[in-house]
């Protein structure tokens, strides 16, 4: 079976995680640290100030998770001892899971606001 041009093009295009990883690798260390700090500070401030407004936290948490993922990815690229490497791999996976959950929750929250209450 011969692969069509559209199949080849589809395989060559990065998925969302690969595109975000490439973006994080191009972003400066300072920008990643600022993004991580903004996400963590926004989360802490909003939870302390008004916990019932949790839905407004998800977008900054996704930004913070992006920053944390980028920082841990850079640390993993550097030569690190095996014990620290395991911790960084776990932190990177946690940041990716947290960011994915925040984006999905934000998308469903927006969709729910657009659709409104559905009574069947």
Question: Does residue 2 sit within a domain?
Answer: no
Residues 6+ apart with CB under 8 A from 60: 38, 39, 42, 43
pTM over cut 0.85: no
The structural domain count of the chain equals 1
Inter-residue contact 66 to 24 (CB < 8 Å): yes
pLDDT digits (tens, 9 = 90+) for 32-77: 888 888 888 887 887 788 777 767 778 888 888 888 888 898 888 8
Handedness of CA 30, 31, 36, 38 (dihedral sign): positive
Average pLDDT of every residue of the chain = 81
Q: In which band, very low, low, confident or very high, does the pLDDT at 1 lie, cut at 50, 70 and 90?
A: very low
> Looking at the predicted structure, is the pLDDT value of residue 118 above 90?
no
Residues 6+ apart with CB under 8 A from 52: none
Q: In which band, very low, low, confident or very high, does the pLDDT at 93 lie, cut at 50, 70 and 90?
A: very high
Q: In which band, very low, low, confident or very high, does the pLDDT at 94 lie, cut at 50, 70 and 90?
A: very high
Which residues form the domain of 37? 16-115
* Residue-level pLDDT at 64: 87
Question: Does residue 80 sit within a domain?
Answer: yes
Question: Does residue 82 sit within a domain?
Answer: yes
Q: Which tops the pLDDT comparison, 4 or 96?
A: 96
Question: Does residue 23 sit within a domain?
Answer: yes
Question: Does residue 111 sit within a domain?
Answer: yes
* Residue-level pLDDT at 75: 87
């Amino acid at each position: 079976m011969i692969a069509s041009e559209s199949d080849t093009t589809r395989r060559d295009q990065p998925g969302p995680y690969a595109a975000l990883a490439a973006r994080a690798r191009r972003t400066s260390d300072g920008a990643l640290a600022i993004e991580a700090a903004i996400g963590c500070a926004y989360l802490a401030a909003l939870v302390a100030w008004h916990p019932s407004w949790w839905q407004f936290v998800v977008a900054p948490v996704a930004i913070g998770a992006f920053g944390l993922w980028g920082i841990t990815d850079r640390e993993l690229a550097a030569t690190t001892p095996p014990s620290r490497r395991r911790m960084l791999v776990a932190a990177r996976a946690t940041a990716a899971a947290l960011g994915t959950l925040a984006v999905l929750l934000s998308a469903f929250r927006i969709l729910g606001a657009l659709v409104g209450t559905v009574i069947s």
